[in-house]
């Protein structure tokens, strides 16, 4: 491949800067609802999202194992818990819970979002995703977090706190089949974990 073509290919695929994120939000290419407070949530190349109120807690003591061939395995072994604003949830060492952000995200057909953890939480042993870090072009829904405590000390988390950051990357062209057009888009418009 010609080096000029390779250079152009890589220049087309780039992470959005704070300026580009603001522009995409203003033009409604990226929709975040409720609207973020840019003074508090916008970084130089990312935007912070806040922890929501709904959690799925694994009831590991009730089940001897999980059969991953069961399409709804996570539903069978979890219990949904709502934590009010002002209250908290304690993530004990080795705990793993699913959670959502307060914000609902909609992406255009030519951008993907990448979920990143917050270093202030990572230094306490809190991870926000174990595998699901990419939100496809055309994504619509809340961001689901896979929260785990890898540390040795319990950590208190509160709805409304900054929990993660999203970065945005341009695609070389619009996706032919964005997420909202997929026949089996099982997480489309999700509101809970």
pLDDT computed for residue 58 by the predictor: 84
The DSSP 8-state label assigned to residue 58 in this structure reads: E
Domain count for the chain: 1
pLDDT computed for residue 78 by the predictor: 83
For tokens 């994504």, the residue is: 139
Is residue 83 one of the residues assigned to a domain?
A: yes
Question: What is the DSSP code string of 83-136?
Answer: --TT--EEE-TT-EEEEEEEEEEE--TTEEEEEEE-HHHHTTTEES-SS--EE-
Provide the whole-model pTM: 0.85
Q: How far is CA 70 from CA 25, 73, 75, 154, 171, in A?
A: 39, 5, 10, 32, 34
pLDDT computed for residue 19 by the predictor: 97
Catalytic residue set: 146
* C-alpha closest to that of 118 among 150, 165, 50: 165
Is residue 48 one of the residues assigned to a domain?
A: yes
125 phi-psi bin (left φ>0, alpha ψ -120 to 50, beta other): left
pLDDT tens, position by position, 118-136: 999 999 999 998 887 899 9
pLDDT tens, position by position, 16-67: 999 999 999 999 999 999 999 999 999 999 999 999 999 999 887 677 777 7
CA 152 to chain CA mean position, Å: 25
Is residue 190 one of the residues assigned to a domain?
A: no
* Cis peptide bond prior to 34, omega within 30° of 0: yes
Is residue 131 one of the residues assigned to a domain?
A: yes
Is residue 189 one of the residues assigned to a domain?
A: no
Is residue 188 one of the residues assigned to a domain?
A: no
Contacts of 93 (CB under 8 A, 6+ apart): 125, 149, 150, 151, 152, 153, 154
Mean pLDDT of 139-149: 95
Whether residue 12 is predicted with pLDDT greater than 60 in this model: the reply is no
Whether residue 2 is predicted with pLDDT greater than 60 in this model: the reply is no
For tokens 């306490």, the residue is: 124
Q: Which CATH number goes with the domain that contains 91?
A: 2.70.40.10
pLDDT computed for residue 160 by the predictor: 97
Q: Which domain holds residue 34?
A: 12-181
């Amino acid at each position: 491949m010609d080096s000029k073509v390779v250079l152009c290919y890589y220049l087309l695929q780039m992470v959005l800067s704070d300026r580009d994120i603001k522009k995409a939000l203003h033009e409604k290419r990226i929709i975040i609802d409720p609207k973020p407070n840019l003074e508090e949530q916008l970084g130089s190349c990312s935007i912070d999202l806040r922890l929501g109120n709904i959690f799925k807690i694994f009831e590991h003591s009730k089940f001897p194992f999980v059969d991953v061939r069961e399409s709804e395995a996570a539903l069978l072994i979890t219990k949904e818990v709502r934590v009010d604003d002002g209250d908290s949830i304690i993530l004990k060492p080795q705990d793993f819970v699913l959670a959502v952000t307060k914000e609902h995200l909609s992406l255009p057909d030519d951008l993907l979002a990448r979920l990143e953890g917050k270093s202030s939480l990572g230094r306490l042993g809190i991870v926000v995703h174990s595998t699901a870090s990419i939100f496809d072009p055309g994504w619509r829904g809340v961001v689901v977090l896979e929260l785990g405590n890898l540390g040795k000390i319990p950590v208190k988390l509160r709805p409304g706190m900054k929990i993660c950051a999203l970065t945005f990357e341009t695609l070389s062209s619009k996706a032919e089949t964005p997420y909202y057009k997929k026949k089996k888009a099982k997480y489309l418009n999700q509101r809970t974990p």
